[in-house]
Chains A and B, each alone.
Chain A
């Protein structure tokens, strides 16, 4: 019964693919929040075209960095901009780009003007079709020596996406069973049974 009802929704999906490109240009340039714009300008001023500002919203600034510069930029974010802890590290799998994006949400406890701000630092790692976690090209430099708070988060990304963090002091599994031998489970090609 359930599989019958779900099939139509799968068929509908390809039609929807055309919507994102048409909708994107519609977004008008709205007034950017001044404080957030100041933060993004400071980073762009310092690193030039090594960083790319992806969005500036109320209380949120998104920047994209190449994997070779991520450590340097993170150090500047901590020392130059007073962000002091990482709230969350997320992985997003993009199989069509052959890349895995790792997103750091960085906040500040010490600087009261930044208390409501979150800086979204994203970087991308190469994605292997047949992953051997830890022994393939899916690697990124760790930010553990910049922000202590990423310690468990990066271990989680390692086992859920197979992104190995070079220089992390404790590259072990955190959540999965010790004998897990399948694909990293949050990749898109790990399918749930019956779906």
Chain B
């Protein structure tokens, strides 16, 4: 890319050499999103992502519900990562209504959040595999994901949308003997995902389809404001768990995985490395967690915000930084709630990455953005 980025992403004027294709929605190469691409022979000359309108009602609906009843529906955009998408909202509400969290609850939250990150990444990895026609990589993560889903079911009672985080802590305490089961499952899980390297990441077919495709330079990754694994695969060491630690992340030993290449291969490998880091964090948290104590500060039935106030809280989710901006006017429901999500922020890079690529590489570039279609138009 040149120093000056091209203005806009507008499609080219139609000329007889150039063909316009609608890829998706509901297409094996695009998921729920429609990507309008213009191709010249085999090469993409312009691309216009059209995220659509599925869950945008979330932000509007939040203005009609009070702080507590917002919880179960705000996690819908990313049901596989429901703890992380609630996390900034819950942190924000705690600041708005002024409430402290018990120490044990903070550890429980960290464990739930890391388990959810793995659950999401395994789902993403499964789809990345099947997009590239690699059906082993679809079946293995989809099966191994069950281990962690079972753990979350033990912890929260629900398999997918947990609604576990509430202002003031978490909804329920851990079940008896959970620590031992969790440690055993996580150790097995880590051993299992290490085997993925042999079948997927060292696979010459994957390497030939992802190496040097969709290269995003460090400078452009910063300027386009990308986040999460896309940013770290381009060589920027930025992880909110380290840079702006929330709850107990500053008491744990957290490392981030950074790769310099910035191509699809690096972008697909960083989340996999992050899963192993998550296993480390869970083990540390299980060890350091207070063995007893309260996990929830009781809240008044219908909490109000303190006057005209606004907070912006952010956490690191499976897809990068996840921010929640809450404006309160002293009532029981938010005046305005805005979620800033990683998928939407990373989407801006797609037209720049696809330009000049072969159409056949579109799925591998597009899905390496760690994109969750429903989250972008939450």
A residues with CB within 8 A of B:
9, 13, 16, 19-20, 23-24, 27, 59-60, 62, 84-88, 90, 92-93, 103, 105, 109-110, 115-116, 118, 120, 147-149, 151-152, 160, 169-170, 172, 174-177, 185-186, 190, 192, 195
Contacts and interface: CB of A to CB of B under 8 A. Distances in A.
Interface string B313-340: 0100000010101010111100110101
B198 interface: no
A97 to B, nearest CB: 12
Interface of B: 5, 7-10, 50-53, 56, 59-61, 64, 222-225, 227, 231, 236, 238, 243-244, 304, 306-308, 310, 312, 314, 321, 323, 325, 327, 329-332, 335-336, 338, 340, 344-345, 347-348, 377
Contacts of B340: 87-88, 90, 105
Contact of A90 (B5, B325, B332): B325
Contacts of B347: 152
B64 A192 contact: yes
B7 A87 contact: no
A115 B56 contact: no
A156 B243 CA distance: 28
* Most chain B CB neighbours (cut-off 10 Å) among A85, A86, A160: A85
B53 A88 contact: no
A185 to B, nearest CB: 6
B56 to A, nearest CB: 6
A126 B236 CA distance: 39
B344 A109 contact: no
Contacts of A20: 307-308, 329-330
A149 B223 contact: yes
Interface of A is mostly: mixed
Contacts, number: 112
B312 A16 contact: no
A147 B314 CA distance: 20
Closest 4 CB pairs of A and B: A149-B225, A88-B340, A170-B8, A169-B7
A160 B60 CA distance: 10
9 contacts: A19-B304, A87-B314, A87-B323, A105-B312, A110-B222, A120-B310, A175-B53, A175-B377, A185-B60
A192 B314 CA distance: 28
Contacts of A116: 243-244
Nearest to A156: B344
B348 A149 contact: yes
> Which of A116, A149, A185 is the most central at the interface, judged by chain B CB atoms within 10 Å of its CB?
A149
Given A87-B321, A90-B336, A24 B222 contact: no
Given A86-B225, A87-B321, A186-B60, 14 more contacts: A13-B331, A23-B330, A27-B307, A85-B223, A85-B225, A87-B227, A87-B314, A93-B336, A109-B231, A109-B236, A115-B243, A174-B51, A175-B52, A186-B59
B225 A147 contact: yes
B321 A170 contact: no
B60 A24 contact: no
B306 A23 contact: yes
B316 to A, nearest CB: 12
Contacts of B348: 148-149, 151-152
A149 to B, nearest CB: 3
A105 B323 contact: yes
Nearest to B338: A90
A185 B338 contact: no
Contact of A87 (B52, B224, B225, B304): B225
A7 to B, nearest CB: 14
A139 B189 CA distance: 53
Contact of B64 (A23, A174, A195): A195
B61 A88 contact: no
Given A116-B243, A120-B312, A175-B51, A16 B323 contact: no
Given A105-B312, A120-B312, A84 B336 contact: no
B29 to A, nearest CB: 21
A118 B331 contact: no
